Structure 1
Amino acid sequence: MRTDTAARHGRGRAMLGVGLAAVLAAGPAAAATRTPGAATHDGHGAAGPPPASAALGGHRPAGLLRATAADQAVRLQALLGQHSVLAADLMRSRIRGDDNFVQAADAALGQNTEAMTALIGQLFGAATAERFGPMWSEHVVELVAYAAAVAAHDADARAHAREELIEYEEELADFFAGASHGRLSRSAARGAILMHVDHLTQQADAYAEHDYATADKLYRQSYQHTYDLGLTLAYALLPGRDRAILREPIWRLRSQLGKLLAEHAVLVEDVTRAAVTSAPDFTAAGEMINGNTRDLAAAVDTLFGAPVAEKFQAVWAPHVEQLVAYAGATAAEQPDRQQQARSALPDFEQRLAALLAPATGGRMTEAGLSAALQEHDRMLLRHADAYAARDYPQAQTIAGRTYEHMFELARRLADGFGAEVASRLPRGGPETGHGGLAGVVARR
């Protein structure tokens, strides 16, 4: 039943939890000034990763030092996709009764909410952000409430949370449709937002029922749908002069590569958690990674042809296997196996760089690309170490940096491959990423 909007907004803010409260206390400026890959210090006093652009070799053109509409559109996609993953992880940990991980996941989701609100403010103004923030926070609260009800086998509470979610999602959809000045219909907005809710609630239901194959299928669908929703919203809400760039081949390639590469990092981290805890969903988590590997190979096939795609998959799949092997060895406290997996990774990194660097026509060096891949693998190994040590806040911090690093890598690859290669992407409307790779990967 719909309640007073102002009261509901206040209740949502009050319930969002300690993690988000701490982030909100830091203020929007903190989120706005964080940059992907910026050097920081972790909880163990170790320096964080260097800026991704340094690892990739060369420097950004001067015009890219300032965030453009294209940068912000990718950022919106990235934050929405990350929201989906963090929400699913939080809901699953609540169902498992893993209270320590719940706290870390809640804090990470709070940071994502704050960053998204700050970005909305940058794109569409402070007044729009002030309306968006409470609505988005409320829908996060109800997702957690839904998971709590599933964990408690409380059918009434679950039905109430579902009812509240639908109301909040309808508010959000109406908000976006209204801000689009007619470019996004209310029916289309509601359909897209409600699908997001369905994905998350249904994956929670399947997870609670130990149907891990279904839960993980929905996990991937949720990420992919919510990521693509970012483009739909950007295309509907941005001014015409900014929307035009979202149709350019380089931007489309950057967006689609970022989607696949960031998902790779997310899924490696997911299977790491399953390996470290000997969780029953380990096999299903492994199948998710296999699916992402097939999708990446399909993308390479589209861009460079089947022979290159076959070589890519022959290197990429064993590289993923070594990352998973490291997580398993970490869980088993077998340092020799850990070292074996760690020692195997540089060979794969160099072979991948040797395969992809020539396709950039000299715009990316083999050494620079290899360094970027090494940094990516180091982050994932550090995530496994932190998670095995039950340092869940640190594990979440590393996961966030790894996620962001993938988008910097995608930018550099897209710029390096160039417009001719990017033009090989299928074309379509904004709801499909202007064609992107969705149709390609679906056929594999």
Structure 2
Amino acid sequence: MRIGRIGHRGHLVAMLCAALAVVLAAGPAAVGSRAAPVADTGHEHAHTEGAPAATAADQAVRFQALLGQHSVLAADLMRSRIRGDDNFAQAANAALGGNTDAMTALVGQLFGAATGEKFRPLWSQHVVALFAYAGAVAEQDEAAKARAREDLVGFEKKLATFFAGASHGRLPADAAREAVVMHVNHLTKQADAYAAHDYAQSDRLYREGYQHTYDLGLTLADALLPARDRATLRTPIWRLRSQLGKVLAEHAVLLEDVTRAAVTNTADFDASADMINGNTRDLAAAVDTLFGAPTARRFQSLWASHVELLVAYAGATAAGKPDRRHEARSQLRTFETRMAAVLAPATGGRLSPADLSAALQAHDQMLLDHADAYAARDYRNAQDVADKTYEHMFALARRLADGFGATVAARLPRGGAQTGYGGLAVVNR
């Protein structure tokens, strides 16, 4: 199993992604959410006993992460409805419910429980309308599609009014509505393209939707957080942490997407591989900016083989080829050892090759577990693993940003890679 053109464009990602894996063993920070029904449950995620209180910087990244996660989960749910894959749709629906719970909890932390409970039904109804839209697309029911779209327009207005009101005038209502409309358009248009088998267009919108909602999280945090906390969002370390989290979480999402396509051998496999290539270009740009091309080039062939081996494992699992599965695992162990040996000197001896290899193995194992669960049609477990992997990416981004320090962080261009640094054009200072 080979990932299209990833071999050449994806290699520069190696150093950054492997370095990010070194902190896996220390455990994730809570960013995503466990699966739960999409309807209002009243459930809020419990804080880990003894965990430190979240700072404003933590809350801002969490807001970005949850919004980005919402976009990909909603797109996955809509696509599963269009495919008629009810079992996967149930798992995606449950994950969206957990994401809504987590977002409600965060809004409540920022603005009080009463405000959070006002947010919950607006967001939940927005999700339900997206679900209905996808069902109408699947059934080619233009009347139902128009009704769902009309409902979505109504929720766009309500959500924009909610966010503008919570900002106490810092976020203009028109700008808020423009952002929400763009979010809905990304999701509905990717669903339309997916139903028309235009997978390249659908996947382009899938990525744009994730990036837009993630960046929107920063603009909303900048508008909604108290003034004393907003300066944190402009520090080099925070910007590096935010942008690393963005591209690494997307990497995990897209790698899981392409392994699902490999398991099912579906027609969208090539488009899924192209999505990985696009994410790889963004990661490669970050590697080159932070560490320079000579260092990045040392990891080229290793990273390409890493991605291809994970996809090959997924394909062998689906095909019932245990020998190929074993070979992929074996080669991944070789990759982890070799990558650790190359990376350790770059850390100045702060991390040993053994520690690096163990962390890389833990990262790979999560992705293998996802492929196994999906191939077994255990979609709920597959979604849980995907959710944990998403969380890990933000833990990695935070610790690496801290480890790289302000000197390296300051090299990151203002705005990060390609997609800008915001999500709304206007926020009143």
TM-score, normalization: structure 1?
Answer: 0.83
Opposite residue 205 of structure 2, the aligned amino acid is L
Matched, 1:400 2:417: no
Q: 2:143 aligned with 1:156, yes or no?
A: yes
Change (3 A) 1:152 1:202: same
Match of 2:41 in 1: 24
Helix, strand or coil at the partner of 2:38: helix
2:319 matched to 1:319? Answer: no
Cα distance change on mapping 1:271 and 1:126 into 2, 3 Å:
same
Alignment CA distance shift 1:299-1:356 (3 Å): farther
3-state SS of the aligned residue for 2:200?
helix
Tell me which residue corresponds to 1:254: 241
Contact persistence 1:86–1:108 (CA under 8 A): yes
Q: Which of 196, 211, 218 is matched with 2:183 structurally?
A: 196
Q: Does 1:436 align with 2:416?
A: yes
Give the superposition deviation at 1:318.
1.7
Matches within 5 A, 1:287-306: 287-306=274-293
Q: Tell me the secondary structure at the aligned position of residue 41 of structure 2.
A: helix
* Paired position in structure 2 for 1:93: 80
Contact between 1:200 and 1:222, CA under 8 Å: does it hold in 2?
A: yes
Aligned to 2:6: none
* Greater mean deviation of Cα atoms: 346-355 or 140-149: 346-355
- What amino acid is the match of 2:192? D
Aligned-pair distance for 1:136?
0.3
1:239 paired residue among 220, 226, 239: 226
Report the alpha carbon displacement of residue 237 of structure 1 after superposing the two structures with TM.
Answer: 0.3
Describe the SS at the equivalent of 1:424: coil
Distance, in Å, in 2 between the alignment partners of 1:90 and 1:214 is 18
CA contact (8 A) 2:38 2:124 kept: no
Evaluate the alpha carbon distance shift between residue 70 and residue 363 of structure 1 in structure 2; reply closer, same or farther with a 3 A threshold: farther
Stretch moving more, 386-395 or 118-127 = 118-127
Equivalent residue letter for 1:279: T
Residue 121 of structure 2 corresponds to residue 134 of structure 1? yes
Contact kept, 8 Å, 1:235 with 1:246, in 2: the verdict is yes
Deviating 4+ runs (over 4 angstroms): 354-366
Q: Post-superposition shift, 1:398? A: 0.6
State the shift of 1:289 in Å: 1.0
Aligned in 2, Cα 1:174/1:210: closer, same or farther, shift over 3 Å?
Answer: same
What is the aligned residue count? Answer: 387
Q: Deviations over 1:187-230 (max 9, x none)?
A: 21111111100100000000000000111111111111111111
Q: Which residue identity is paired with 1:310?
A: R
The 3 A distance-change label for structure 1 pair 364 and 136 is farther
Structure 2: tracts of 5 or more residues without a match: 1-34, 422-429
The counterpart of 2:158, out of the listed 148, 164, 171, is: 171
On the 8 A contact 2:71/2:210 being kept in 1, the answer is yes
Query: What is the one-letter code of the residue matched to 2:355?
Result: G
Q: Report the CA distance between 1:440 and its aligned residue.
A: 9.0
1:80-113 per-residue CA deviation (whole Å, 9 max, x = no partner) reads 1110110000000000001111111111110111
Distance 1:154 1:91 in 2: 15
Q: Distance in 2 between the 1:20 and 1:90 partners? A: 11
Question: CA separation of 1:363/1:117 partners in 2, compared to 1, >3 Å: closer, same or farther?
Answer: farther
Q: How does 1:48-67 map to 2 (within 5 A)?
A: 65-67=52-54
Q: Which residue of 2 aligns with 1:103?
A: 90
- Residues 321-370 of structure 1 show CA distances to partners (whole Å, capped at 9, x for unaligned) of 11111111111110111111111113333444445555554555544343
Which stretch of the first structure deviates more once superposed, 154-163 or 346-355?
A: 346-355
Structure 1 stretches lacking a partner, 5+ long: 1-16, 36-61, 428-434
Are the structure 2 counterparts of residues 440 and 79 from structure 1 closer, same or farther at C-alpha, using a change threshold of 3 Å? Answer: closer
| Alpha carbons of structure 1 residues 380 and 264: separation in structure 2 relative to 1, 3 Å | same
Selected match of 2:331 from 320, 331, 344: 344
Aligned pairs for 1:378-417 within 5 A: 378-417=365-404
- Please say if 1:284 is aligned against 2:264: no
What percent of counterpart residues are identical?
72
Does the 8 Å CA contact 2:108/2:114 hold for their aligned counterparts?
yes
Distance 1:111 1:359 in 2: 39
Cα drift, residue 268 of structure 1: 1.1
Please list the CA deviations of residues 380-408 of structure 1 after superposition, one character each: whole Å capped at 9, or x if unmatched: 10010011111111111111001101111
Q: For residue 305 of structure 1, report the CA deviation from its aligned partner.
A: 1.3
Deviations 1:105-158 (A, max 9, x none): 111110111111111111221121011111000100000000000001011111
Distance 2:90 2:242 in 1: 31
Is the Cα contact below 8 Å between 1:361 and 1:417 reproduced in 2? Answer: no
Does residue 79 (structure 1) correspond to residue 66 (structure 2)? The answer is yes
The CA deviation string for residues 6-50 of structure 1, in whole angstroms up to 9 with x for no partner, is xxxxxxxxxxx99234x825x21xx13369xxxxxxxxxxxxxxx
* Larger mean Cα displacement after TM superposition, 365-374 or 86-95: 365-374
Secondary structure of residue in 2 paired with 1:144? helix
Q: Is structure 2 residue 233 aligned with structure 1 residue 216?
A: no
Distance of aligned partners of 1:316 and 1:165 in 2 relative to their CA distance in 1, 3 Å threshold: same
What secondary structure is seen at the aligned counterpart in 2 of 1:24? coil
Rounded to whole Å, the distance in 2 between the matches of 1:94 and 1:249 is: 42
Aligned residue identity for 1:419: A
TM-score by length of 2: 0.86
Distance 2:121 2:350 in 1: 44
- Tell me which amino acid in the other structure corresponds to 1:139: H
**What value does the CA root-mean-square deviation take over the aligned residues?**
2.1
Determine if the alignment matches structure 1 residue 423 to structure 2 residue 410: yes
**1:33 aligns to 2:47 (yes or no):** yes
> In the alignment, is the contact (CA less than 8 A) between 1:360 and 1:418 conserved in 2?
no
CA 1:312–1:124 in 2, change beyond 3 Å: closer, same or farther?
Answer: farther
Conserved 8 A contact 1:19-1:104: no
Following superposition, the deviation at residue 66 of structure 1 comes to 2.9
- Provide the C-alpha distance between the structure 1 equivalents of 2:333 and 2:53, rounded to a whole number of angstroms: 33
